[in-house]
C-alpha cells in the first residue's frame, strides 16, 4: 500500500478520538468520520511503517450505527467527532474507551459503572472561544480544523446556545462596520484574535470578552451600545483581554472592563457562583450537576475535613457541602488562577458557607504547605487539567495527607489510568469509577473515581 492508493475497507473499531480503524493486507488504516460496520472507499494520504491514514471518499455500505449528519461544517471542523453516529453508540464507545485506558495504562481490570448520558445533546455549552479570521467580506468566526489553526467558518454551531450565534453575528456587523481586522498569526498583525463567550444558564447572564492584539479595543463603546441594544438585560459583561504574545494560549494576563460587571452569576447544585473570564467552570452545567451529585454520594458521616485541589471557583467543594450537609464540615480549596480564588471566596460568602478557606497556589506546593500545617483531611478531591496530577502531588496526598478517601474527577481517561496506577502503588485502591458524558458529539468524557486508603 502506498500514498494515493484507493482502497475498499471495512471499519472494525474506533479509536478514542472517534476515528475508524480497519485493516488492509494486515496494516491498520485510520479513516475519520467512519463508524464500526461501515464499508468505505478510502484514499490513502499517509503511509507509516505500522499504519496508514486514509481520507473517506465514499460509504459503500453504511453501518447500522450511522445517523444523518446535521452540521455542514462537520467534515472540516475539529470540534465534533460523533455527529455521524447515534448517541447510544457514542456512549458505548466512550465507556469502552475509559475501560480500555484503565486496563491498558493503569493495569486495572475493573468494569466502570454505567455511563451517565448528558441531560442535553444540543446547545449545552455555556462557554465558547471563537477564533477570528479574515475573509473576502470582512471577518468571520468559527472553530479550528483538526490539528491546525485554520479557522473553519461555523455559524449556528449546534453545541452552543442560540444567544452565542446572535452575539457573534452582532460582533461581525460591528467589526466590519468599523474595519476591525482579524489577527493573522503568520505575520503577527491584526486586532481581533478570539471572542470568548460565557453564559450563566440559570440566570441568563452573558459575558463577552474580545481577545485582542492591541493595547485597547477600538470602538469599544460602540460595541457595548450595539450589544446592549440587541441583547438587553442578557448582556451582563463586556470586556477585552490583551494578548500580544506569539502563543497558542488564548487569554493574556490583562483584562479590561468596558461594560457591566467583571463576572456573571450562575447556580449549580443549589449554590450561586460568580464566574470571571479566566475561571474554570464546567461547560455543561446540567451534566456537571450529575457529576457533582455522584461525587457527593462518596461523602459519609465522619468525613468532616475536605481538601479540594484544583478547586477553580469552588464549585465542586461547595456543591458537595451543599448536597451532603455543611454542619460540622470544613472545606479547604486550592487553585492557581487568582481570579478563580477570588470568585471562590465570593461564592462561599454568597452562599453563607462557614469554615471554608481558599488558597492561591500550585496544587503541589499548596499541598505541601497544608501538610506542614498538619491539616489532616478525611477526603481529598482532585479535578486536575487534562495532563492529570503530578506524581509528587499524588505522593503528598498518599503519604502526608493520607485521607480515608480520594475522589478523582478526570477529563482524560489516559491520565486517570496513569494516576490510578500511581495511587495503587502508594496504598490507595480503586473502589469504582463512573463515566459521565459532559461533551456529547465530541470525543471527550469525564470520569469520577473513588479510592480508599488501604494502609496506615
Cα separation, 300 vs 328, whole angstroms: 12
Helix (H) or strand (E) holding 211: strand 205-212
Catalytic residue among 80, 269, 311, 411: 411
Cα separation, 366 vs 386, whole angstroms: 20
Q: What is the pTM of this model?
A: 0.93
Q: Are 181 and 213 in contact (CB under 8 A)?
A: no
Coarse DSSP helix, strand, coil percentages of the chain, rounded to the nearest 5 percent: 25, 35, 40
Cα separation, 184 vs 176, whole angstroms: 16
Model confidence pLDDT, tens digit, residues 44-80: 999 999 999 999 999 999 999 999 999 999 988 888 9
Tell me the domains of the chain and their CATH numbers: 6-66 (2.40.50.140), 99-118+284-453 (3.40.50.150), 127-264 (2.40.50.1070)
Q: What is the per-residue burial (b if ≥16 Cβ within 10 Å, else e) of 173-190?
A: ebbeeeebbbbeeeeeeb
**Spans of the chain, pLDDT less than 50:** none
pLDDT at position 456: 59
Work out the burial of residue 71: count CB atoms within 10 Å of its CB; fewer than 13 is exposed, 13-18 middle, 19 or more buried.
middle
Q: Is 411 a catalytic residue?
A: yes
Q: Are 334 and 309 in contact (CB under 8 A)?
A: yes
Amino acid at each position: 500500500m502506498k500514498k494515493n492508493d484507493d482502497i475498499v475497507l471495512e471499519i472494525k473499531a474506533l479509536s478514542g478520538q472517534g476515528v475508524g480503524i480497519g485493516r488492509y493486507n494486515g496494516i491498520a488504516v485510520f479513516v475519520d468520520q467512519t463508524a464500526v460496520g461501515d464499508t468505505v472507499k478510502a484514499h490513502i494520504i499517509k503511509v507509516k511503517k505500522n499504519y496508514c491514514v486514509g481520507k473517506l471518499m465514499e460509504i459503500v455500505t453504511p453501518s447500522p450505527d450511522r445517523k444523518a449528519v446535521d452540521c455542514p461544517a462537520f467534515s472540516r471542523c475539529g470540534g465534533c467527532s460523533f455527529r455521524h453516529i447515534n448517541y447510544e453508540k457514542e456512549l458505548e464507545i466512550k465507556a469502552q474507551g475509559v475501560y480500555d485506558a484503565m486496563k491498558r495504562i493503569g493495569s486495572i481490570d475493573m468494569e466502570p459503572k454505567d455511563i451517565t448520558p448528558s441531560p442535553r445533546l444540543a446547545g449545552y455549552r455555556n462557554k465558547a472561544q471563537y477564533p477570528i479570521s479574515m475573509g473576502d467580506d470582512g471577518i468571520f468566526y468559527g472553530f479550528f480544523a483538526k490539528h491546525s489553526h485554520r479557522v473553519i467558518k461555523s455559524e449556528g454551531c449546534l453545541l452552543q446556545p442560540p444567544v452565542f450565534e446572535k452575539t457573534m453575528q452582532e460582533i461581525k456587523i460591528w467589526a466590519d462596520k468599523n474595519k476591525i481586522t482579524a489577527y493573522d498569526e503568520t505575520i503577527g498583525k491584526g486586532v481581533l484574535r478570539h471572542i470568548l463567550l460565557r453564559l450563566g444558564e440559570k440566570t441568563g447572564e452573558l459575558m463577552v470578552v474580545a481577545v485582542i492584539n492591541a493595547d485597547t479595543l477600538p470602538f469599544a463603546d460602540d460595541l457595548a451600545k450595539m450589544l446592549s441594544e440587541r441583547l438587553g438585560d442578557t448582556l451582563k459583561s463586556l470586556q477585552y483581554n490583551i494578548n500580544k504574545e506569539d502563543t497558542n494560549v488564548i487569554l493574556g494576563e490583562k483584562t479590561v472592563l468596558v461594560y457591566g460587571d467583571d463576572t456573571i452569576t450562575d447556580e449549580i447544585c443549589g449554590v450561586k457562583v460568580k464566574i470571571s473570564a479566566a475561571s474554570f467552570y464546567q461547560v455543561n452545567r446540567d451534566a456537571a450537576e450529575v457529576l457533582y451529585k455522584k461525587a457527593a454520594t462518596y461523602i459519609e458521616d465522619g468525613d468532616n475535613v475536605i481538601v479540594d485541589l484544583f478547586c477553580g471557583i469552588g464549585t465542586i467543594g461547595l456543591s458537595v457541602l451543599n448536597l451532603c450537609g455543611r454542619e460540622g464540615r470544613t472545606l479547604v480549596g486550592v487553585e492557581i488562577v487568582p481570579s478563580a480564588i477570588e470568585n471562590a471566596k465570593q461564592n462561599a460568602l454568597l452562599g453563607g458557607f462557614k469554615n471554608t478557606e481558599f488558597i492561591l497556589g500550585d496544587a503541589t506546593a499548596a499541598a505541601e504547605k497544608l501538610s506542614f500545617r498538619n491539616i489532616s483531611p478525611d477526603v481529598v478531591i482532585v479535578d486536575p487539567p487534562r495532563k492529570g496530577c503530578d506524581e509528587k502531588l499524588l505522593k503528598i496526598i498518599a503519604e502526608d495527607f493520607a485521607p480515608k478517601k480520594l475522589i478523582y474527577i478526570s477529563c482524560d481517561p489516559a491520565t486517570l489510568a496513569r494516576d490510578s496506577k500511581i495511587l495503587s502503588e502508594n496504598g490507595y485502591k480503586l473502589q469504582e469509577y463512573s463515566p459521565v458524558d459532559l461533551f456529547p458529539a465530541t470525543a471527550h468524557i469525564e470520569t469520577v473515581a473513588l479510592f480508599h486508603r488501604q494502609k496506615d
